[in-house]
Amino acid sequence: MYKILIVDDEPNIVMSLEYAFKKKGFEVFIARDGSEVISIVENTVPDIILLDIMMPNIDGYQTLKLIKSKKSLEATKIAFLTAKNKASDIEKGLKLGADKYLIKPFSVKKIVSEILELLE
């Protein structure tokens, strides 16, 4: 069973993704912003983190840097899921170390498929 950490401050997005991933057998963890990520990853090591960029407190870019600094998370895949869709945003996200860059709005079915592909 894969473990996924969904990091997003939009309740509707979190709800639909949580439902879809649980249906596929994932163990799902939720964080509403980057500061919650740090406390969650101290107790569990997700296989993948689905990360929004525009969030309160600590944004996705800063969160990614924090994740990358943790030795325990070096095998964890990171996928940005964001409305920031300019080429420069995508380039920045991938340059910082994201394994995938997915754009909102999205199809839940497509996101699940992309994440499964990344994990296999």
Q: How confident is the model at residue 25 (pLDDT cuts 50, 70, 90)?
A: very high
Per-residue model confidence (pLDDT) at position 57: 87
pLDDT tens for each residue of 85-112: 999 999 999 999 999 999 999 999 999 9
pLDDT tens for each residue of 26-45: 999 999 988 899 889 989 99
- Single pTM value for the model: 0.95
C-alpha–C-alpha distance, residues 62 and 22, integer Å: 27
Residue type at position 120? E
pLDDT tens for each residue of 41-77: 989 999 999 999 999 889 999 999 999 999 999 999 9
* C-alpha distance from residue 120 to each of 3, 77, 111, 113 (Å): 13, 11, 14, 11
CB 5 within 8 A of CB 50: yes
Is 81 a residue whose pLDDT tops 90?
A: yes
* Domain 3-115 top-level CATH class: alpha beta
Domain boundaries, the chain: 3-115
